[in-house]
Amino acid sequence: MQKQKASKKLGNAFKGDNIELGAGCGNFGQRFYPVCLLTDADEGIGTRCSNNHIDLCCSANEIPVGDDSFRVAIICNPWQYGFNDPSEGIQILEEIVRVLKGRGRIIIIGSLTNKYCAPEKVSKTIDAAKSRLSAQLTIRCVKAIDSKKEYGDYIFRTSGGDEIFPSMRIEIDVTK
Ligand SMILES: C[S@@+](CC[C@H](N)C(=O)[O-])C[C@H]1O[C@@H](n2cnc3c(N)ncnc32)[C@H](O)[C@@H]1O
């Protein structure tokens, strides 16, 4: 409980425009969307990663920061959370919409075969969430990417630490 209060304080004091959810051992948001608050649900992240960049420990469906805080929300390679389970996907979208400012964007980077972020799952979740969201969500693009060409020497990792090579990026416009 004490930790949650401390996290909330940190989140609300943050002055950057962007947030990364499920950042794991990486710092993608800080490198490519500065200034970015890095978050992850794993409270043991400090022992899992040799280099821990996480600013705030929280789940993507319960972000302890105030409404209208960020312009961009980023999710890279979600695993065991995300858009596979429709009700969880809706909760995540509701929470992201809440923390985004009036005109925001969601960036999802992953692989087409990852059921937690496959474009059809994301699209279905947006449709299912429509009546519950206080914003209009429009998929701006689903782009095939070569992660090495696009992001150079940045290394994306599985939860177990192996390097992975995302093959697509979804960009969603959020208008409140
Ligand atoms: C496959 S790793 C990806 C890490 C990093 N984004 C990357 O691409 O290198 C998935 C991460 O999601 C985190 N995670 C799992 N469930 C989560 C949830 N409900 N909310 C936020 N993060 C979660 C895990 O702790 C893990 O660090």
- CA of 49 from ligand 1 middle (Å) equals 12
Domain 2-175 homologous superfamily, CATH: Vaccinia Virus protein VP39 (3.40.50.150)
- CA of 133 from ligand 1 middle (Å) equals 24
**pLDDT tens, residue by residue, 51-105:** 889 999 999 999 999 999 999 999 999 999 999 999 999 999 999 999 999 999 9
Residue 64's pLDDT is what? 95
pTM of the model: 0.94
| Alpha carbon nearest to ligand 1 atom 12, residue | 22
30 lines ligand 1 (CB under 6 A): no
List all residues 6 or more positions away from 145 whose beta carbon is below 8 Å from its beta carbon.
109, 166, 167, 168, 169
- CA of 28 from ligand 1 middle (Å) equals 12
Mean pLDDT across 150-163: 97
* Nearest ligand 1 atom to alpha carbon 59: 20
Peptide bond into 35 cis (omega under 30): yes
- CA of 41 from ligand 1 middle (Å) equals 7
CB burial of 72-105 (b: ≥16 within 10 Å; e: otherwise) equals: bbbbbbbbebbbbeeebbbbbbebbbbbbeeebb
| Alpha carbon nearest to ligand 1 atom 14, residue | 22
